[in-house]
């Protein structure tokens, strides 16, 4: 579990998200509280539930971004899901418990990747040996198995037998990349009847999975010879070898612990399921979804492929624009499960300018790097960035406010000509200045109908 202090968490988030300080502070506290909880006597620890958060704010102001970055920072399994996707139990659609199953899948994948990384060197050694067996059939090493053989010690006095010398020559060639264009035939395992899949019944994905598992067991996995590039074969072999080396039971245990103690579920569009009863009709089932959510948020046990998962300490961050509804429109029980509320503010010209310049992964950096691969050096004057920010603000006001996403459409349009021509402009230096921005965009900005479609 990450031991960053709230101040450190906020300053890490500052690297990617501009403004929204209140929201950052709130998620930082939620994060730190988990760490604090871990330090308590088991008895009290069990009592302390996470303080779930509702983020309110217009579209494109960083709600999802903050949650995602937070999860990455704390290495927490993170799952984003739209509240509107669920339906009440008994109706066609996904049931709310599926989000815990999905979170567990994410946790498993995360831990498996870490465990694979730990055994990578050994797995690569074993994979290399198997690759050589494929290249030199019948010349398998005396030991026969695919066990890891240490890299040959160049200073070893012993002269290897003839067969081994060929093998070592191939090994050398492979390591130097001289065999990369060769193809080999590799036996790969396919599940069931040649990858037969069950037709997806809408809303029954989970049942589909179970049925598929069952059928998979009925038709044992088959081996199939496949021709592939030597590099791909190596990657496949490394996967196979590392799976042999890692202990799946251990992976499951670690993943379960991590999901239960540090998992984060981002429940988007919560405002869409919060509406007053007076409209009648479909709202009945919306309220049903809220009722179904209650136990999951409050803490229950969900049955997954990897065993039972307790949801008591999973952190829920709900988000929504709340244009047409308020948190108080949620059913009372659910309101109580989300005690922390924070409002994110709309973004303006000044924030747009900072978003273009400050984050490590700022759009300007991304475009310069992309075109840099063509040998074109792209840079932006301060003047141009101010102009882009002002344009974003203007279009947001005049058409629809889509927040920072406006910068994406503007940048794409602004650089479309350059992006097309960059391949012929290797070695050149292009400086985007205010004049260039105006010349590329003015015609569209002036024409409101046009900007509705293009920017
Ligand atoms: N304050 C910000 N600082 C930096 N980048 C931002 C900020 N707000 C939004 N962005 C960028 O804009 C894009 C959209 O933001 P995000 O996905 O967080 O929107 P959102 O608030 O979740 O909106 P929605 O309600 O539509 O889901 C992201 O790529 C994000 O990087
Ligand atoms: Mg979002």
Rounded to the nearest angstrom, the distance between the alpha carbon of 342 and the centre of ligand 2 is: 15
Q: Of 64, 401, 402, which is best to mutate to test ligand 1, by the most ligand atoms within 8 angstroms of its C-beta? A: 64
| Contact yes or no for 27/340 (Cβ under 8 A) | no
Structure tokens that stand for 399 in this block: 């058409």
Q: Tell me the pLDDT tens digit for each residue of 49-74.
A: 888 999 999 999 999 999 999 999 99
Using the structure block, give the residue that is written with the tokens 């047409």.
324
Domain extents in the chain: 6-114+251-343, 121-245, 349-454
Give the nearest ligand 1 atom to 359 CA. 4
Q: What is the pLDDT of residue 222?
A: 72
Task: Give Cβ neighbours of residue 258 (< 8 Å, ≥ 6 apart).
Answer: 76, 77, 107, 110, 111
Distance CA 177, CA 168 (A): 14
Q: Ligand 2 centroid vs 102 CA: distance in angstroms? A: 18
Q: How many residues does the chain have?
A: 455
Question: Which residue, by CA, sits nearest to atom 18 of ligand 1?
Answer: 62
**Collapsing DSSP states into helix, strand and coil, what is residue 316?**
strand
Q: Is 355 in the pocket of ligand 1 (CB under 6 A)?
A: yes
On the CB side of 3, CA atoms within 13 Å amount to 2
Q: What 3-state DSSP class applies to 301?
A: strand
CA neighbor of 304 nearest in space, from 210, 430, 424, 381: 210
What gap in Å lies between CA 54 and CA 329, rounded to an integer? 13
Give the nearest ligand 1 atom to 404 CA.
Answer: 12
* pLDDT lower than 70: segments of the chain: 88-93, 138-163, 190-221, 276-285
Ligand 2 centroid to 335 CA: how many Å? 20
CATH topology of domain 349-454: Helicase, Ruva Protein; domain 3 (1.10.8)
Beta-bridge mates of residue 54: 318, 341
Neighbouring residues of 257: CB distance < 8 A, sequence distance ≥ 6: none
Residue 19 CB–ligand 1 contact under 6 Å: yes
| Residue 409 CA, ligand 1 centroid: distance in Å | 14
Give the tokens for residue 294.
């209650």
| Ligand 1 close to Cβ of residue 62 (< 6 A) | yes
Please count the other Cβ atoms lying within 10 Å of the Cβ belonging to residue 453. 9
CATH of domain 6-114+251-343: 3.40.50.300
Ligand nearest to the CA of 345: 1
For 221-269, write each residue's pLDDT tens digit.
677 888 889 889 999 999 999 999 999 999 999 999 999 999 999 999 9
The ligand 1 atom nearest the CA atom of 321: 25
pLDDT of residue 139: 55
Q: How far apart are CA 264 and CA 110, in angstroms?
A: 14
pLDDT of residue 90: 63
pLDDT at 160: 52
Give the Å distance between the CA of 344 and the centre of ligand 1.
11
- Of 61, 343, 411, the one to substitute when testing ligand 1's pocket (max ligand atoms within 8 A of C-beta) is 61
Task: State residue 449's pLDDT score.
Answer: 79
pLDDT of residue 193: 46
Residue 72: per-residue pLDDT: 94
CB of 68 closer than 6 angstroms to any ligand 1 atom: no
């Amino acid at each position: 579990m990450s031991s960053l202090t709230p101040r450190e968490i906020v300053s890490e988030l500052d690297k990617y998200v501009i403004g929204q300080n209140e929201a950052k502070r709130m998620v930082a506290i939620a994060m730190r509280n988990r760490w604090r909880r871990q330090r308590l006597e088991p008895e009290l620890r069990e009592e302390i539930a996470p303080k779930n958060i509702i983020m309110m704010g217009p579209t494109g102001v960083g709600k999802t971004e903050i949650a995602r970055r937070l999860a990455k920072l704390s290495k927490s399994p993170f799952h984003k899901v739209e509240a509107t996707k669920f339906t009440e139990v008994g109706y066609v659609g996904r049931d709310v418990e599926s989000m815990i199953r999905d979170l567990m899948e994410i946790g498993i994948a995360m831990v498996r990747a870490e465990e694979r990384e730990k055994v990578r060197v050994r797995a690569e050694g074993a994979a290399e040996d198997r690759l050589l067996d494929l290249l030199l059939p019948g010349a398998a090493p005396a030991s026969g198995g695919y066990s890891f053989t240490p890299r040959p010690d160049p200073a070893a006095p012993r002269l290897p037998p003839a067969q081994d010398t060929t093998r070592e020559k191939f090994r050398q060639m492979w390591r130097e990349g001289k065999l990369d264009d060769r193809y080999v035939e590799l036996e790969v395992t396919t599940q069931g009847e040649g990858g037969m899949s069950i037709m997806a019944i809408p809303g029954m994905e989970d049942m589909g999975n179970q049925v598929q598992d069952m059928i998979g067991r009925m038709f044992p996995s088959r081996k199939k010879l496949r021709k592939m590039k030597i590099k791909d074969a190596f990657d496949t072999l490394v996967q196979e070898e590392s799976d042999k080396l890692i202990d799946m039971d251990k992976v499951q245990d670690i993943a379960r612990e991590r999901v239960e103690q540090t998992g984060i579920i981002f429940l988007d569009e919560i405002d869409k399921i919060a509406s007053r009863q007076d409209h009648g009709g479909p709202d009945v089932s919306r309220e049903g979804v809220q009722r179904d959510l209650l136990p999951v948020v409050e803490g229950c046990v969900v049955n997954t492929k990897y065993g039972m998962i307790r949801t008591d300490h999973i952190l829920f961050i709900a988000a929504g624009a709340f244009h047409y509804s308020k948190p108080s429109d949620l059913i009372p029980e659910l309101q109580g499960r989300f005690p922390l509320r924070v409002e994110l503010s709309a973004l303006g010209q000044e924030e747009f300018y900072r978003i273009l310049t400050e984050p490590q992964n700022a759009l300007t950096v991304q475009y310069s790097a992309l075109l840099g691969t063509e040998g074109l050096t792209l840079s932006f004057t301060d003047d141009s960035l101010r102009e882009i920010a002002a344009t974003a603000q203007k279009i947001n006001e005049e058409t629809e406010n889509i927040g920072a996403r406006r910068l994406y459409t503007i940048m794409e349009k602004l650089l479309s000509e350059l992006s097309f021509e960059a391949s012929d402009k290797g070695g050149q230096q292009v400086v985007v200045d205010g004049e260039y921005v105006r010349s590329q965009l003015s015609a569209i900005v002036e024409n409101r109908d046009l900007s509705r479609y293009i920017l």
